[in-house]
Amino acid sequence: MTQKKPADTTDADTTDSAEDSETRYFLDLNLATQTIIRLASAQRQGLAQVLPDPTHHRLFVTKGQYHKLEQHLAAVKQGGAG
């Protein structure tokens, strides 16, 4: 899968905010193109229940999985193998 910039970020993104028990970590995927739309976290109350595009799917991950993906993404952006 490849990663692209999101076309529409309808959720209140709190990636840089303090994390607490209501923080949810997720990947938004485009199933039609098999691409990652975004890797993000947000407060549970601020998450959209239904994504605007029916070909998009939200996959929730644990905090540890989220941070590991962030590390791999940062390494790839710096030219490393990830």
Q: Where are the domains of the chain?
A: 2-77
How much is the pTM? 0.74
Q: Are 78 and 46 in contact (CB under 8 A)?
A: no
Please write the tens of the pLDDT for every residue from 30-77.
999 999 999 999 999 999 989 999 999 999 999 999 999 999 999 999
Report yes or no: 29 and 67 within 8 Å, Cβ to Cβ: no
